[in-house]
């Protein structure tokens, strides 16, 4: 078992990575006398019985909420179902909510835990690669609104996170690759040695070899936790985690959410941000080729969707929330492992990148 500590003062918490299911002492040791597992209809048949069995203890009351599966259900209405379940069951302020599932379940459960009776304990058992390396670290929780994705939410740090990489064996390959895009991002923006490790070990990681996964999930959590510890509420360095995301969001919104997975759009977005960094003389083209190669080996796209126009990119990017007083702030690369957030670049260079990817 590997344990990463997220340092946030009195809200610090551990992320345990290893055989959390077969060796369930940690999950078992959640102290609350009331525990409700929140999951979805896809994950419940795979893992809920196992988690509930681990939590079973004399004097502890257990419950389970099974939500519908899908980003389309990441709404206040669905969170309200959690509240209704808790209130109908007279669950008290001592209840712990345990999110069992991917980022959608995690974000909604965390938000419910932030709100129920003004805040109850929250634990996470993330079961997708994306949720293991990204959404379960950092305390952002929330839901979508018809007028904007993730626009309603709260910061709510979990008490602990339990990651069992074995769960990835049931995850569809496309979802695995999408999560790997965020892993590549961590190497590119924060740790050149880690990026080299990923290049050398991508096959064993995607073949889900346990040791390789524990190491990668651990290092990615460490990197994200390190950034979050420096900047919990995204006033500065946390924004570097958006590397590739402004271009990626443009792809997601233009195609319509659900066409490309988030990680797929971010993969292309990272290539585009790296391309722009080359045009600005910040990095060498060789680095772009390495990033493309690693993403492609992982089955991720490295070219913009066919037919998407420069104009569609510009329009969508201008609407992105990172537009600050007229200037579009982008995350660019200074070198492998070093990113910076800036609005200080010639528009003509950005246009050249867009033109290059929209041929
Ligand atoms: P997801 O939660 O939709 O899971 C993807 C699919 O895999 C779903 O169908 C799910 O039911 C299924 N699934 C989950 N675990 C499985 C398993 N072990 N075996 C088989 N199927 C499994 O998607 P995701 O990529 O995990 O998360 C995306 C969400 O996370 C988005 O809503 C995004 O906004 C959010 N997010 C939040 C943060 C944050 O900081 N809070 C960061 C990044 C993303
Ligand atoms: Mg992302």
Q: Note the helical H segments in the chain.
A: 25-28, 49-55, 76-88, 103-115, 129-130, 173-190, 192-206, 210-230, 245-255, 262-279, 285-297, 310-319, 347-357
Region 131-153: mean pLDDT is 95
The CA-atom distances, in angstroms, between 185 and each of 19, 27, 51, 250 are 26, 30, 31, 18
Per-residue pLDDT band at 322 (split at 50, 70, 90): low
CATH superfamily entry for domain 173-358: Dehydroquinate synthase-like - alpha domain (1.20.1090.10)
pTM: 0.96
Q: Which of 194, 218, 129 is nearest to 167 (CA)?
A: 129
55 CA → ligand 2 middle, Å: 31
The CA-atom distances, in angstroms, between 13 and each of 6, 123, 246, 327 are 5, 10, 30, 37
| Chain Cα centroid distance, residue 13 | 18
182 CA → ligand 2 middle, Å: 6
Q: Are strands 121-126 and 95-101 parallel, antiparallel or unpaired?
A: parallel
Which residues are the active-site residues? 118, 140, 182, 224, 234, 238, 242, 245, 249, 262
166 CB under 6 A from ligand 1? no
Terminal-residue alpha carbon distance, the chain: 48
Question: What phi and psi values does residue 63 have, to the nearest 5 degrees?
Answer: -145, 170
282 CB under 6 A from ligand 1? no
Express each pLDDT in 198-231 by its tens digit: 999 999 999 999 999 999 999 999 999 999 999 8
171 has binding-site annotation: no
Contact 199, 166 (CB under 8 A): no
Cα torsion 142, 146, 151, 153: sign: negative
Express each pLDDT in 72-84 by its tens digit: 999 999 999 999 9
Region 322-328: mean pLDDT is 68
124 CA → ligand 1 middle, Å: 12
Task: Report how far residue 94's alpha carbon sits from residue 90's, in angstroms, rounded to the nearest whole number.
Answer: 11
Task: Report how far residue 224's alpha carbon sits from residue 186's, in angstroms, rounded to the nearest whole number.
Answer: 7
User: 2-168: which CATH number, 3.40.50.1000, 3.40.50.1970, 3.40.190.10, 3.30.465.10?
Assistant: 3.40.50.1970
Residue 321 has pLDDT above 60, yes or no: no
Q: What is the predicted pLDDT for the residue at 257?
A: 75
Q: What is the predicted pLDDT for the residue at 148?
A: 87
Token pair belonging to 38: 């929140």
Residue 122 has pLDDT above 60, yes or no: yes
Q: What is the predicted pLDDT for the residue at 267?
A: 98
175 CB under 6 A from ligand 1? yes
* Domain boundaries defined on the chain: 2-168, 173-358
Q: Which of 352, 243, 323, 338 is nearest to 282 (CA)?
A: 338
Q: In sequence order, what DSSP letters do the residues of 312-335 get, joined into one string? A: HHHHHHHHSTTEETTEE-EEEEEE
131 CA → ligand 2 middle, Å: 10
Q: Atom 24, ligand 1: which residue's CA is nearest?
A: 103
Kindly identify the ligand whose nearest atom is closest to the C-alpha of 178: 1
84 has binding-site annotation: no
Ligand 1 atom, smallest distance to 70 CA: 3
Express each pLDDT in 241-275 by its tens digit: 999 999 999 999 999 877 999 999 999 999 999 99
Residue 323 has pLDDT above 80, yes or no: no
Task: Report how far residue 64's alpha carbon sits from residue 39's, in angstroms, rounded to the nearest whole number.
Answer: 8
DSSP reduced 3-state for 56: coil
Task: Please tell me if the domain spanning 2-168 has the same topology as the one spanning 173-358.
Answer: no
């Amino acid at each position: 078992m590997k344990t990463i500590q997220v340092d946030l003062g009195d809200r610090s918490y551990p992320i345990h990575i290893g055989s959390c299911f077969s060796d369930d002492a940690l999950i078992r040791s959640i102290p609350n006398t009331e525990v409700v597992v929140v999951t979805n209809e896809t994950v419940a048949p795979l893992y809920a019985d196992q988690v509930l069995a681990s939590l079973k203890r004399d004097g502890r009351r257990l419950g389970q909420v099974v939500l519908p599966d899908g980003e389309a259900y990441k709404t206040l209405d669905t969170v309200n179902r959690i509240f209704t379940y808790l209130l109908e069951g007279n669950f008290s302020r001592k209840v712990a909510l345990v999110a069992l599932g991917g980022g959608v379940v995690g974000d909604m459960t965390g938000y419910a835990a932030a709100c129920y009776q003004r805040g109850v304990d929250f634990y996470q058992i993330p079961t997708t690669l994306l949720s293991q390396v990204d959404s379960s670290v950092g305390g952002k929780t929330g839901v979508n609104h018809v007028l904007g994705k993730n626009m309603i939410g709260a910061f709510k740090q979990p008490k602990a996170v339990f990651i069992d990489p074995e769960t990835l064996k049931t995850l569809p390959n496309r979802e695995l690759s999408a999560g790997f895009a965020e892993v590549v991002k961590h190497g590119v923006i924060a740790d050149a040695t880690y990026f080299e490790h990923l290049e050398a070990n991508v096959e064993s990681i995607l073949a889900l070899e346990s040791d390789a996964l524990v190491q990668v999930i651990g290092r990615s959590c460490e990197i994200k936790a390190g950034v979050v510890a420096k900047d919990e509420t995204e006033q500065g360095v946390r924004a570097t985690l958006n590397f590739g995301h402004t271009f990626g969001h443009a792809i997601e919104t233009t195609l319509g959410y659900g066409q490309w997975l988030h990680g797929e759009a971010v993969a292309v977005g990272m290539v585009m941000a790296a391309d722009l960094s080359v045009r600005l003389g910040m990095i060498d083209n060789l680095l772009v080729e390495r990033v493309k190669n690693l993403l492609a080996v992982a089955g991720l796209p490295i070219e913009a969707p066919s037919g998407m126009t420069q104009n569609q990119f510009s329009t969508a990017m201008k609407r992105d929330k990172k537009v600050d007083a007229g200037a579009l702030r982008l995350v660019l690369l200074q070198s492998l492992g070093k990113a910076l957030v800036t609005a200080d670049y010639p528009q003509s260079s950005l246009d050249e990148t867009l033109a290059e990817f929209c041929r």
